[in-house]
Structure 1
Amino acid sequence: MRSLAGLVAIAAVASVYLYLLSTCLPPGPRKVKGESEGVQEYRLKFPSDLDELRELAHTLKFYEREHYGYVLLLYCSAYLYKQSFAIPGSSLLNMLAGAIFGPWLGLALACVCSTAGSTLCFLLSSAFGKQYVVYLFPETVAMLQRKVEENHSSLFFFLLFLRFFPMTPNWTLNITCPVLNIPMSIFFFSVLIGLIPYNFICVRTGSILSKISSLDDIFSWSTLAQLLAIALMALVPGALIKHCSKDCLKVDSNGTSQAEIKNARKRQ
């Protein structure tokens, strides 16, 4: 119970900090709604469709020009919060990075924040949650433990493989790695390198979608060509790691170990 109380206390402090940071906004842009409605200020919220994404990107673009440090701190804090406490949904923040900061700076921020946040999640799980992870995800832990033992001699490439071709969500992998006794250095660099394709797709897509004025623009030749190029470039690292590691990793194309295939055949 002591470890659970410590985790809850850290989560509470982080939640209060993020709430205060998001509510103590500097002067923002104003939007004229009409003579009867008067002038209203934009309000920050997570977007649920393309129009809201573009509106939020426009708002934060204003803050970036006038209060760059605030926008950077708010974005990094929100990203680290979600990653540290294993909250799914980092793709939206990656898309916002592309819409606000552009494709290349956005990609750098997404890679740094995802790596730092995953490492904080690793540390929190190691310090407070090992027993709870085993209790809540016994099958996942057992499956990953078998595969780690089978690929012990090429552990780094195996973790890269899991990031490129995830058998479990990334947040699940972050909280289970301490239970599997994965060294932090191997974990850190596998996240940093392994999430580049995923981050690139999300950031570049956000950069493109933020400039689209209607859904019809998505099907323009220029937009389709850019999205196709993104997809092809994202496939290259995964294909390379899969080709280079197929002789040393004991997984097939579906992420199933050869030992599990043999056992399944014996049971048939």
Structure 2
Amino acid sequence: MEKGGVIMKLESISMKGSGKSNEDAYVIQQAKHVYAVIDGITSLIPYENAAGQTGGAIAAELVKKQLEAMPEDAALHDYLETINEELQGRMRQSGIELEKKEALWGAACAVVRVGDAHIEYAQLGDCMIFAVYEDDTVRPLTHPQVSHLEQAALVKWEEGINEGLCTRTELHERCMDILLHNRYQANGPEGYGVLNGDVACRDFTEFGRINRVGMKALVLATDGLFMPRALGGTQPKWEETVLPILHKGLQRYTDELISLENTDPECIRYIRFKKSDDKTGMILYLH
């Protein structure tokens, strides 16, 4: 129970996907009423530190620690800019060539500060924040900034399946040119925002404040928790991800999603780029 009754109950989860390590992270700072989910993005040029952490994992951990240390009077979007500068400094210390986008470590994130009357938020990338009201209305506060770029790759992936490709490796190779192109759109025109040390990041941060009237919960999620699109089907509505998370709880929802992914290891029944992405989520029950 949080002092002042701002948050009545909290659920959180963070599970490794099919990769080597969990490059997601999350923040729970109840004293400051700050909560966040973070999705590390590994550089296309392979990098690991002495501890075996990828660039994406290092970036996610840095964002987490910086948010945990955020002054209570800091504006969320301004502080994300500060974190971006810290990340640039860390990469420079590690000898990363900052002019090469394929070498940059990165992180998407979604952060909220919960007040008695208002919710403040800031976001980059495709981490999402949803307000859920008493009547189960789901209100996305954010937009998955990468979705317009990923769509072309998903279409090409589905075409490959229809042409007879039946392994994830073949399908991934087919779409690699688009995936590489998309990475170069980070913090660029017609691209998407991401914390990757590039000063242009500030122009892509989305932020705002809404009131809490009629709101029963906030749901924060990295993209590994999104319900995937079935082959030949339409993109699931946000309600198909958010309401099951809320009604089943994060653990059961995540277990069921992983079971679904395990029945489709080659990503041909459900269109996605990995068998199982890292999954991090949070439910903040407001009363």
Q: Into which bin does the TM-score normalised by the smaller protein fall?
A: under 0.3
User: What TM-score comes out, normalization by structure 1 length?
Assistant: 0.26
Choose 1 or 2 for highest CA Rg. 1
User: What TM-score comes out, normalization by structure 2 length?
Assistant: 0.25
Higher RCO (C-alpha 8 Å, min separation 6): 2
Q: Which has the larger share of strand?
A: 2
Q: Which has the larger share of helix?
A: 1
